[in-house]
Structure 1
Amino acid sequence: MDKPLLCFKDFVPVWLRIALFILFAVIFQCASPVYLSLMGDVTGAYQLYREDLSFVYQVSTIGVTFIFPILFRIKFRFTSQQILSVCSLLLAVLLLVCMYTSSVPVLIVCAFFIGAFKMIGTFETLVALQLIITRQKDYGMFFSVALAIVLLCGQLNATLAVILADSYDWQMIYNLVAILLGIQTLLILFLLRPFRIVKPLPLFGIDWKGIFHWSVFFLMISYVLTYGHVLDWYGSQKIMVATMAALLWFLLIVYRSYTIRRALILPRVFALKNVQVAILVILIAQVMLSITGSILGPFTGSVMRLDNLHTGDLNWWIAGGILTGAVMGYFWFKYINGPFRIIFAAGFAALTLHHGLLYFAFSGSAGEQQLYLPYFLKGLGNIIIFAAAAKYVTIGVGFDVFAQMLCYVAMFRNALGNAVMGAFFSENVYRLSQDYLQKLASKIDASGLEPLAAGIYNQSLKSGSPSLQASQLASKAISARLNQQAMLLAGRDIFGWVTVLGVIVLIGICLYHFSSPLIKTFPSWQNQYKIVKRDAL
């Protein structure tokens, strides 16, 4: 019989147990080596490149990904009290190190372990709540809630970090989360007891070398994708070396997967049909989600001239979409459990409409209000697609490879998807912008720009600037205007093409024969333990 939340001491009421575990999951998700909404503050404080911080953040997602295959082994070896207290304490220490160091190698090491410990702690809290979330033990209902917590925390992180940086300084978010983790550690030690669901299973038979090799392989890929544009891609020796290292590591991984008994990810995981379909769905969704980050950041900053606080406020609309999508997904899987075609189509329809609205809103006269609905639809489509895909991958997958399958999916959802799509669209936006800039410059109308240049020139002279400096300011203003127009034209092009892609995807979803819907349930803890123990021997 399953025993949820019996890790608490007897005097703790049930409602408080549930509330605390949800709170613990939220606090774990708030831990991050880099808060991307504060990138400008951190780069200025420590003289780092934006690419350095992007790479550090990407490393944390690699830590999240490759801890998946051993999550159940950790759970069956240690008690909830041990897991949660150690993860909380170590995360607090690592956050403080990230706050005070400017060394990129140190940040990279800390980022990997922050991702790993954050995933271990979140997993421990959420799986303990599975029977509270869904009495039917349905994966769709569970993932609707679990992914909602993860995605909502991502929006909360970005907004809270900006608010604290504006009121105090950029280090305040690190201090706050570290303090919360410290308080959480004390609560865990005081309110939880060393309760075990099953007998402890020693950590033997784990492919620790596999975790290292897979992590290094993805580290090399992330390095190439993150620094490629800055280092001029394969004009740089560093990028060439990193690419060759990635290829060699990939060959080593393939060799080990077929020659050792307990590989981190067994080869048969990569051949599961439903997993392949779900990964394709996830990759297409990543395309549609990543493009807005590559374009809307410069748009809200340079065109709409929104400060960090107003840009952060837009995240609440994404959060509203996520919350709405989570409720819809939970209701769908609990009461309807209809064809996957419908739920996938609903998610992609939201993302397609998101890009279509942005195509028409993308202009120099756009207002903040025009972004509310597109941002809401982005959050809505995001949670619906990933919750449905998370349930779809479980069809036909035995529990013996369940954690490995989650790792495989996370490679494309977290570790690889963000880096590949981000690099692809950033490069294309840059190239399209340069192309439009050359076209605009070749057809420039001096009479149209003369009033702008003359106005800035005269205003500079009146303020006491020398004639040469006034001329330079006028030239910069013209250049900024041309760059802005080129960026707007490039953005509209990409939003238009992604909207067309969305329509094609919707047609494909309507024509493809997905597996029949079913109630895919969790096995009991005892059965999970037996399967994990059998595979470890």
Structure 2
Amino acid sequence: MGAPVLNGPFTMPMFRDFVPRRLQPWIYVFMAVTFQLSGGLYLGSLNQMIGSTSLMREDLQMCLYANLSGMAIYFPLLFRMKFCFTNKTLLITASAGVLVCNLLAPYITFLPLLWAVCFIEGMCKIQGTFECMSNIQLWMTPKRDFTVFFPLLHIVILGSMQLSDLAATHLMYYYHWSYMHFFIGALILIDLLIMYCCTRHFRMIKKLPLFGIDWLGGLLWALLLMEIAFFFNYGDWYDWFNSPVMCSMAVAIIVTLIICLGRMFSIRHPFYEPKMWTYKNLLPILILITLTEAILATEHVLEEVFYSEVMRYEEMVSVSLDWLMLIGVVSGCLFAYWWMHIKRFNYLRLLIVGICGLVAYLAGYYFTISTDIHISQLYLPTVCRGFAYAVLSATFMTCLEEIMTFQHFFQALSVFNMLHMVMGGVMGAALYTQGLKYYVADNMARYGSAIDRVAFSRAPFNFGHYMEGFISQMLEVSIKQVYGWTLYACVLLLLLFLLYDAPVRRDLKAMPSWRGLRKEAAEEFSRRSKK
């Protein structure tokens, strides 16, 4: 993609004169990718981190949710920061924050401090990405067309997620998991070098002080998000409400929510304004993105169990599927761009296409899962998953921009990403974990009768080998069952979309309300009385 307006209105005055104009936007693309590659901890090397630290899987997953929570909660502050500080100041601060957090995280074992570091890293990460992408928006689309901007933005975001996982796994395999932090630190140092040498402070508008921001409200909403993530992430470990920890956390969630809502309705400038919730179609979008993320959480529960416990893939084998996911992501974003911008087709039908991709992914895994398959048989379902995720993410964000005014768009985007990045995924993962736990126990009880005296009477009898194969088969069957129920749910969601978009609905009048009918009858009666 070349810069569309090199000698016209598009300029990047923050760059010094010696930097070629054709190169300037590409420098910001590179920096946006480096920010998106970063993270608090990198779960591509999860198993090695568990082995070399005293932390559990749930502890490390909570670091991921803390990082995503920091990103989600920071959205309402992005433009306030942009109007208060220069681009150079914000990028240097964000880069320094990402660098320090990446260098500290591998050596911190005190969990609250580690979660706080990951949370701050997420804030710095989204601040740096926003500053880069917002400054090249007119280069990407001179008319500020979000049907162009959001698909291309998601190529950077979702593509970087896959590349980060690939880089972390390869560095873990050949060196050590902490080398990923040093690699990201080196990239961020390049960003800092660029900012110090190639840019200058430039302010396009008058400075707007950071007045009227509900800092306490933001902290309370962040606390609520972290509490919800903690509840669903550790629920299985603590055995849910059989543990006083989970009971206390449930009470804390309710109390924090009441305080957040009370503050939202009682102060003049709350972090999330009450009017933001009143926009038409906002709640359906939030519900649908939560359901979509919950469905896609199969990747982090069912797929990982299948790869590691059933197929016994090493990390370098299972991570090779990320290349297929990357292909699906890029093709999905380009398809969304073609659909929304070039053809100008209906957004609802694009969502239907995305859900069809989800159905294809779930059906592919349901009918493919077996210990006899080759990994290449998982390529097509993985591409479908990436395609569906990209199409739905870009389309939902475009729909959100269409229905919101600028005043409330970033507040709604924050809530959207709380559900999109944190709550949908963690609730879906908890549901699949419970489902898998139930079906494994159920299948062991149902098929355990195969282990009887007749089987033991064979000589010689390799009990260890027999049980290993038996448990592997039980896991395979259980994973297939949970995939089946998820497929049912996704097909039901698809049918609801198809019914909503049925052609007959566009030909029928809307059903009048009883109040409207009564008013119409009264007016007709009044006219007849006058005659």
Q: How many Å apart are 1:513 and its aligned residue? A: 5.2
Report whether the alignment pairs 1:202 with 2:209.
Answer: yes
Distance in 2 separating the partners of 1:448 and 1:395: 65
Report whether the alignment pairs 1:27 with 2:67.
Answer: no
**CA gap 1:2/1:261 in 2 versus in 1, 3 angstroms:** farther
Letter in 2 for 1:177: I
Aligned equivalent of 2:483: 495
SS of the counterpart of 1:47? coil
Query: CA offsets per residue over residues 423-473 of structure 1, 9 Å max, x none?
Result: 11111111111111111113446656877x9464xxxxxxxxxxxxxxxxx
Aligned equivalent of 1:164: 171
SS of the counterpart of 2:165? helix
Distance in 1 separating the partners of 2:208 and 2:355: 43
- Matching residue within 253, 258, 263 for 1:256: 263
1:19-58 matches, cutoff 5 A = 19-58=26-65
Aligned equivalent of 2:236: 229
- Matching residue within 511, 526, 532 for 2:499: 511
Q: How many Å apart are 1:415 and its aligned residue? A: 2.4
Percent sequence identity is 26
Letter in 1 for 2:353: A
Report whether the alignment pairs 1:397 with 2:404.
Answer: yes
**How large is the RMSD of aligned CA atoms in angstroms?**
1.8
Q: How many Å apart are 1:47 and its aligned residue? A: 1.3
Distance in 1 separating the partners of 2:489 and 2:115: 36
Report whether the alignment pairs 1:187 with 2:213.
Answer: no
SS of the counterpart of 2:13? coil
Matched-pair contact (CA < 8 Å) for 1:3–1:197: no
Query: CA offsets per residue over residues 152-176 of structure 1, 9 Å max, x none?
Result: 1111111111111111111110001
Q: How many Å apart are 1:306 and its aligned residue? A: 1.4
Report whether the alignment pairs 1:284 with 2:291.
Answer: yes
Distance in 2 separating the partners of 1:93 and 1:449: 59
Aligned equivalent of 1:125: 132
Letter in 1 for 2:488: V
SS of the counterpart of 2:366? helix
Aligned equivalent of 1:134: 141
Query: CA offsets per residue over residues 41-65 of structure 1, 9 Å max, x none?
Result: 1111111111100111111111011
Letter in 1 for 2:301: S
**CA gap 1:497/1:186 in 2 versus in 1, 3 angstroms:** same
**CA gap 1:373/1:447 in 2 versus in 1, 3 angstroms:** farther
Q: How many Å apart are 1:132 and its aligned residue? A: 1.8
- Matching residue within 391, 404, 408 for 1:384: 391
Aligned equivalent of 2:351: 344
Q: How many Å apart are 1:148 and its aligned residue? A: 1.8
**CA gap 1:417/1:38 in 2 versus in 1, 3 angstroms:** same
Matched-pair contact (CA < 8 Å) for 2:310–2:475: no
Matched-pair contact (CA < 8 Å) for 1:55–1:226: yes
Distance in 1 separating the partners of 2:171 and 2:265: 50
1:63-142 matches, cutoff 5 A = 63-142=70-149
Q: How many Å apart are 1:66 and its aligned residue? A: 0.7
Distance in 1 separating the partners of 2:262 and 2:197: 48
Q: How many Å apart are 1:135 and its aligned residue? A: 2.5
- Matching residue within 360, 363, 369 for 1:362: 369
Distance in 2 separating the partners of 1:232 and 1:503: 31
Aligned equivalent of 2:430: 423
Aligned equivalent of 1:483: 471
1:11-26 matches, cutoff 5 A = 11-26=18-33
Matched-pair contact (CA < 8 Å) for 1:274–1:395: no
Distance in 1 separating the partners of 2:384 and 2:443: 29
SS of the counterpart of 1:239? helix
Report whether the alignment pairs 1:61 with 2:49.
Answer: no
Q: How many Å apart are 1:506 and its aligned residue? A: 2.0
1:321-332 matches, cutoff 5 A = 321-332=328-339
Distance in 2 separating the partners of 1:495 and 1:315: 20
Q: How many Å apart are 1:498 and its aligned residue? A: 2.2
SS of the counterpart of 1:135? coil
Matched-pair contact (CA < 8 Å) for 2:291–2:424: no
Matched-pair contact (CA < 8 Å) for 2:354–2:391: yes
Aligned equivalent of 1:247: 254
Query: CA offsets per residue over residues 172-213 of structure 1, 9 Å max, x none?
Result: 100010111112111111111101121111111111001110
Report whether the alignment pairs 1:307 with 2:314.
Answer: yes
Query: CA offsets per residue over residues 340-391 of structure 1, 9 Å max, x none?
Result: 1221111111110111111111112121011100111100000001111111
Matched-pair contact (CA < 8 Å) for 2:351–2:391: yes
Distance in 1 separating the partners of 2:20 and 2:484: 54
Distance in 1 separating the partners of 2:213 and 2:326: 38
Query: CA offsets per residue over residues 500-531 of structure 1, 9 Å max, x none?
Result: 222222222122259xxxxxxxxxxxxxxxxx
**CA gap 1:417/1:450 in 2 versus in 1, 3 angstroms:** farther
Distance in 2 separating the partners of 1:421 and 1:337: 33
Matched-pair contact (CA < 8 Å) for 1:449–1:478: no
Deviates more, 1:442-451 or 1:212-221: 442-451
Report whether the alignment pairs 1:153 with 2:141.
Answer: no
Distance in 1 separating the partners of 2:454 and 2:132: 65
**CA gap 1:316/1:446 in 2 versus in 1, 3 angstroms:** farther
Distance in 2 separating the partners of 1:120 and 1:341: 31
SS of the counterpart of 2:300? helix
Matched-pair contact (CA < 8 Å) for 1:440–1:482: no
Letter in 1 for 2:468: A
Aligned equivalent of 2:282: 275
Q: How many Å apart are 1:478 and its aligned residue? A: 3.1
Say how many residue pairs are matched: 495
Letter in 2 for 1:433: V
Distance in 1 separating the partners of 2:496 and 2:296: 19
Distance in 1 separating the partners of 2:16 and 2:373: 56
1:449-460 matches, cutoff 5 A = 454=460, 456=462
Letter in 2 for 1:424: L
Distance in 2 separating the partners of 1:428 and 1:14: 55
Letter in 1 for 2:438: R
Matched-pair contact (CA < 8 Å) for 2:361–2:385: yes
SS of the counterpart of 1:33? coil
SS of the counterpart of 2:293? helix
Q: How many Å apart are 1:274 and its aligned residue? A: 2.1
